[in-house]
Amino acid sequence: MAKVGVYVCHCGTNIAGVIDVEAVRAFAEALPEVVVARKDLFMCSDSGQELVKQDIREGLVDRVVVAACTPRTHEPIFRAAVESAGLNKYLFEMANIRDQDSWVHPDNPEQATEKAMKLLASAVGKASRLKPLEDKYVDVTQAALVIGGGVAGISSALELANMGYTTYLVEKEPSIGGIMAQLDKTFPTNDCSACILTPLMVDVGNHPNIKLMTYSEVEEVEGFIGNFTVKVRHKQSYIDWKKCTGCGDCAEVCVEQTKGRIPDEFNQGLSPRGAAYIHFPQAVPKKAVVDAANCISCKGHKFGQEPKISKKTGKPMIAPCQEACPADAIDRSQQFDPNGTIEEIKVGSIVVATGYQVMDKKWFKELAPDSPNVVTALQLERIISATGPSGGKLVRPSDQQKPKTITFVSCVGSRDENFHTYCSRVCCMYMIKQARLLKEKYPDLNINMHFIDVRAAGKEYDEYYTGARKMGINILKGKVGGLEVLPEDRLRVLAYDMEGAVPIEYESDLVVLATAIELPETAKKLAQATGLQFCGSHFYRELHPKLGPVETSVRGLFLAGCCQGPKDIPDTVSQAKGAAAVAAVPLAQGKVKIDPIISEVHAEKCSGCGICIPLCPYDAITFRMVADRPRAEIDMTACKGCGVCTTACPSAAIILHGYEEDQIYAQIAALTA
Amino acid sequence: MSDYIKLDSEKISEGVKTITELGGHGILKCVQCGACSAVCPGVKAGFPVLCRLLIKKVLDGQLEEMIEESSSWGCQACNRCTEVCPQGVRPQEVVFAFRRYQANELAFSTSAITSQMNLHSYGHAVFSDARELRKKVGLAPEAPTSAYNEKAQKEIQTLLENSPMGELGLY
């Protein structure tokens, strides 16, 4: 008979504050399988673990049950302790008496104690029937994938590539750079965004270990840590990038033909682009694409067709973009294909760095969204950027005149129950930055900034903010309630001065809205493809907010940058480099462990009915011929141990190791006793 | 009221409880952003202790000290505050809860008594004779309201006199 040792944890007051730990311990001691029952203030501490190890070493116990917090964080810790004392680590079972008991029943200590006893008895019942299991290992594909080519993805990719690993960098736009490439200068040092980012972009483009895949999207991710198979869709650009020199001649003629109808995303719609266009002048790779959805097929030259022959001249009528291209790179004879081509790549780990979008102003009807002189902060970045549509000159969109009074409105869609309850974290600082840059350039400009409060927590951030006050920028505490449109596209600001407890009303020429940072809709598609989960704020959920900030619940998948939550550039780059370091671990180890808690088919019992095959959510089951008859076989690298096949098998030929029938029945018996 | 206040947790929780029970359910959600007061026509018209400041004073434990405050009767129930509030406080409901508190304590300001009497007489808290003006702009002089309808006025008076307001002995 098994000799079960039981160890009940106080977890400080987390458990002991509700549950009578001594009563639970005494209850365990009386169970027939239990040879010893102890308790400790913190079972996971060195002294707590030592209790377990000593009992194993002395031969007192050969099965271990710890009643404590949660297996989610602490099962690996106790398994390691059991193993170090010389016992198979799968002869360990955990009773969850904190997350599933003391934390949910704080007002009912007596029944919580009773529940703890049942949970413990159930764990003991299972533990006494556990069998030793062995870890298995498989080789790792020595390559990484980074999804997203903003500053987060760029930083992660460069780190991984510098470590010597082949790194695929997939970006949906024609160029890497992301939102940082759209910014003018960056707080708190005011260095120019392009000057610090573009050299990194060039490094990415030239790095021998980086395989850059722009204008591409991840369609499907299969496999597991160490061995992922990823389908990447290259969008059809109708331009042969091997020939394209990035001269931009096609873009120039196209913007004339399309007559400014297509808003330039890079300039946040403040200027037009052609259907043939280059993402921005500093693009990497600097290649043109033809955006087929917006192409107007000049001279009737449609995709997938040869040009028409002119009745007048007898010559082919070639589209102007094709005519303009000196490198003969534009190929309109390719069929219109919204799907593009799929490339399959194999990688060992994946960093997701897909970034964010800023909310559109259209949602805020009280803030005059239809006025051209109400702009988002990202639009202002383009207005004041040297590469922007006005060459860095501050002009208001309605008449291209320099404004005299400019208003900044904070928390637009952030800290707001109607939109996002979270703080977008960077708006206070970037608005102060924009105000400071403007005040430096135009000392006469009247700048009013309205905050609920100023959040400037960061290295040298508060000094940057107080510096803005010293420059004569008006900082007002109180949220703007509304904007009213006046003649000549001026705006009346309805604000409030919290400190003076008086309403404020004045006229402004340009109003800047700090709209919230959020995940774009496309984030859902990637979550479906990868198994990533969302947190309450609808960003990708990290494994643990403190101790697993770059890991996710999908092993081998890591997070970097704003797709995990709003953050500024220093934090983004820190997280991106951290994600690269953790993503490199399986690659450096060369092999990954396969958890033995997975299902296995006993071929001699299998009738070959095939019921299990379509049920498996991981496509892990196939037929294998055993003595000329088909039998189900489970690929241990694909199996996640969900147990669907085990419960469905009519012949009981499939067992889920670590959850065998007698073990589960023993648990049920204990819980219903 | 003295020049400084002492923060008294009992007074604070008593004030919050009173306002919550009288219908100002969102008072504890307020983060004091001030958006409500930025758009409040009452605040602009010279009734400063509405919306943001009214909530702040209750949260400072100053409910009793404010009992004579006349600002609350400047609220026109336009609900612009409710529309712009990012936290779902519904400041207008807090203002009305405060009015109920004042009424229960018979602490009406004179402006409030006038509006109550207006309500009793015409069915409108704020009423002015607009017949001349309406004629000038080409409208029928009498709008279809209780102001020009004796039967409706009687009904309103009956309702008011039989309501808790009637028990205050105002009419």
* Residues in A touching B53 (Cβ below 8 Å): 501
Residue A274's pLDDT band (cuts 50, 70, 90): very high
Place of tokens 């508060």: A462
Q: Is the pLDDT of residue B1 over 70?
A: no
Q: Which residue in A411, A497, A498 is closest to B32 by CB distance? A: A498
Phi, psi of A497 (to 5 degrees): -100, 105
3-state DSSP assignment of residue A458: coil
Whether the predicted pLDDT of A404 surpasses 80? yes
> Among residues A646, A666, A642, which one has the least CA distance to residue A602?
A646
A123-167 per-position pLDDT tens digit: 999 999 999 999 999 999 999 999 999 999 999 999 999 999 999
Given A366, A478, A482, which is nearest B33 (Cβ)? A478
Report pLDDT for B129.
Answer: 87
What is the spatial distance between Cα A482 and Cα A491, in angstroms, rounded to a whole number?
10
Range in A118-122, A187-191, A510-514, B2-6 with the lowest mean pLDDT:
B2-6
A166 φ/ψ angles, rounded to the nearest 5 degrees? -60, 125
ipTM topping 0.95? no
pLDDT class of A74 with cuts at 50, 70, 90: very high
With helix as H, strand as E and coil as C, how does A463-488 read? Answer: HHHHHHHHCCCEEEECCCCEEEECHH
- Residue among A452, A494, A503 minimizing CB distance to B33: A452
What residues of chain A lie within 8 A of the CB of B39, using their CB? 366, 481-482, 494
User: Which tokens in the block code for residue A352?
Assistant: 């997701």
- How far apart, in whole angstroms, are the C-alpha atoms of residue A595 and residue A598? 7
pLDDT digits (tens, 9 = 90+) for A496-519: 999 999 999 999 999 999 999 999
Distance from CA of A478 to the nearest CA of B (A): 5
Find, in chain A, the residue whose alpha carbon is nearest to that of B81. Answer: A481
Chain B residue nearest residue A367, CA to CA: B84
Quick check: B86 and A416 CB within 8 A? yes
Distance of alpha carbon A239 from alpha carbon A245, whole angstroms? 11
What gap in Å lies between CA A229 and CA A344, rounded to an integer? 7
Task: Among B31, B38, B43, select the one facing A482 at the smallest CB separation.
Answer: B38
A665: number of Cβ within 10 Å? 13
Which of chain A's residues have a Cβ under 8 Å away from the Cβ of B86?
411, 415-418, 479
- Distance, in Å, from the CA atom of A147 to the CA atom of A354, rounded to the nearest integer, reads 6
Facing residue for A481 by CB, picked from B31, B35, B87: B35
Taking the Cβ of residue B50 and every Cβ of chain A, the question of whether any pair is shorter than 8 Å is answered with no
CA-to-CA distance for A38 and A47, rounded, in angstroms?
A: 12
Residues in chain A closer than 8 A to B83 (CB atoms)? 366
Q: What distance in Å separates residue A347's CA from the closest CA in chain B?
A: 45
Average pLDDT over residues A271-277: 96
Rounded CA-CA distance A655/A399 in Å is 74
Mean pLDDT of B65-72: 92
Give the pLDDT of residue B2.
61
Would you say residue A184 has pLDDT above 90?
yes
Question: What pLDDT sits at residue A648?
Answer: 96
Report the distance separating Cα A569 and Cα A561, nearest Å. Answer: 8
In percent, the amount of chain A with pLDDT more than 90 equals 92
- The answer to whether residue B79 neighbours chain A at the CB level (below 8 Å) is no
Mean pLDDT of chain A: 96
Nearest alpha carbon to residue A209 among A142, A270, A266: A142
What's the CA gap between A100 and A94, in Å, rounded?
12
Round to whole Å and give the CA distance between A584 and A159. 9
Beta strands at A63-68 and A92-96: parallel, antiparallel or unpaired? parallel
B40 touches chain A (CB under 8 A): yes
B78 touches chain A (CB under 8 A): no
Residues 6 or more apart whose CB falls under 8 angstroms from that of A121 comprise A27, A28, A31, A670, A671, A673
- Residue pLDDT, tens place only, A336-376: 787 889 999 999 999 999 999 999 999 999 999 999 999 99
Are A411 and B80 a contacting pair at CB < 8 A? Answer: no
Condensed to tens digits (0 to 9), the pLDDT of residues B108-159 reads: 777 778 878 888 999 887 788 889 999 999 999 998 899 899 999 999 999 9
Q: State the DSSP string of A343-363.
A: EEEEESEEEE----EEPPGGG
pLDDT average, residue stretch A221-231 = 94
User: What average pLDDT score do residues A51-79 get?
Assistant: 96
User: pLDDT value at position A666?
Assistant: 96
In chain A, the residue whose alpha carbon lies closest to the alpha carbon of B41 is A503
pLDDT of residue A511: 98
A406 neighbors A442 (Cβ within 8 angstroms): no
Distance, in Å, from the CA atom of A247 to the CA atom of A5, rounded to the nearest integer, reads: 74
Q: Encoding tokens for residue A536?
A: 């309450």
Which of B38, B83, B88 lies nearest to residue A496, judging by beta carbons? B38
Write down the residue that tokens 């009280």 correspond to.
Answer: A366
Tell me how far apart the 2 most distant CA atoms of chain B are, in Å. Answer: 59
- In whole angstroms, what is the distance from residue B81 CA to residue B51 CA? 7
**A73 Cβ contact partners less than 8 Å away, ≥ 6 residues apart:** A544, A547
Q: Is the pLDDT of residue A262 over 90?
A: yes
pLDDT tens profile A5-48: 999 999 999 999 999 999 999 999 999 999 999 999 999 999 99
- Partners of A40 in the β-ladder: A9
Reply yes or no on whether the pLDDT at A289 is more than 90.
yes
Q: Tell me the pLDDT tens digit for each residue of B15-57.
A: 999 999 999 999 999 999 999 999 999 999 999 999 999 999 9
- pTM for this structure? 0.86
Query: Position of tokens 């039998």?
Result: A631
